[in-house]
A = this chain, B = another copy of it.
Amino acid sequence: MCRWIAYSGTPVLLSRVLFEPRHNLIDQSLHSRMGVETTNGDGFGIGWYAQELTTPAVLRDVGPAWNNRNLQEVAHHVRSGQFFAHIRATTGTAVQQTNCHPFRRDRWLWMHNGMINEFHQLRRDLALAVDPALYPEMEGSTDSELMFYLSLTFGLTEDPPGAVARMVGLVEETARRHGVPHPVQMTVALADGDRLWAFRYSSEGSSRSLFYSTRVDSLRALHPDAEFLQEVGEETRLVVSEPLGDLPGAWNEVPESSYGLVQPGQDMLHPFQPQLPHP
């Protein structure tokens, strides 16, 4: 469906993460190894937090990432300590900028890989559950954006994991009423400039791949010659749909039905369970 990369840590040029690794964003857009589709060429987006600015920047376009010069330019000239990148393979919705990830509201970024099963059938009921004050801000037609706005409706800015759990609960409940099986398939990244959450879940218990990088200090011990590891601090962490390279010991699978939190200090890994939103 899609592939994504989330970075949090020492400010670096985006290109260090997006283009320099062997199995990088471009390689994944042409030859995904673990995705449902091998080609992710239906648009892309990056979002990054710039120092001292409260809202992140978002650059999105409808062509493939692999031949986009503006993406190369920005990635080779902008540094950031927290950024997202996403390459899209549409499951049917239009190829347009407003359907490209990441989605932003205020200081929040959201990106998604997966799908709501039979979204066509469920779309109206789910849209009605969005806070009427937020409804008019939805610009695209994807399940991914709607999942973001449902999560915002259910308290994302106060309690991100709880809001996502309630969003998933609502989608599953709505699907049940419509007789739609296996409604949710998702890996989601969420950030606010300081913290980064990553969720892996699917109703059927067989979720899209998701990996997080090993602690930098442990990796340095294993690979004392890896240049990139010398440049970044110990707080640096990546969460990715697919490993960016073959460095032994560098990548760990996020378990089924769980979510991680990357933050200053101790990172966390917790189980994830859908909840029914309060009636």
- Docked CA distance A56–B78 (Å): 11
Interface contact A139-B98, CB-CB below 8 Å: no
- Docked CA distance A73–B74 (Å): 11
Interface contact A63-B97, CB-CB below 8 Å: no
A30 at the interface (CB under 8 A from B): yes
A120 at the interface (CB under 8 A from B): yes
| Known contacts A63-B63, A94-B139, A96-B94; is-contact A57 B69 (Cβ 8 Å) | no
A121 at the interface (CB under 8 A from B): yes
Q: Which residue of B48, B77, B93 contacts A57 across the interface (Cβ within 8 Å)?
A: B77
Q: Footprint of B on A, CB under 8 Å?
A: 30, 39, 41-42, 48, 50, 53, 56-64, 66-67, 69-70, 73-74, 76-78, 90, 93-98, 119-121, 123-124, 127-128, 132, 135-136, 138-141
Instruction: Give 15 A-B pairs besides A41-B67, A53-B76, A94-B96 with Cβ atoms closer than 8 angstroms.
Output: A41-B41, A50-B77, A53-B77, A57-B74, A58-B73, A63-B64, A63-B95, A70-B70, A74-B74, A120-B136, A123-B135, A123-B136, A128-B128, A139-B141, A140-B141
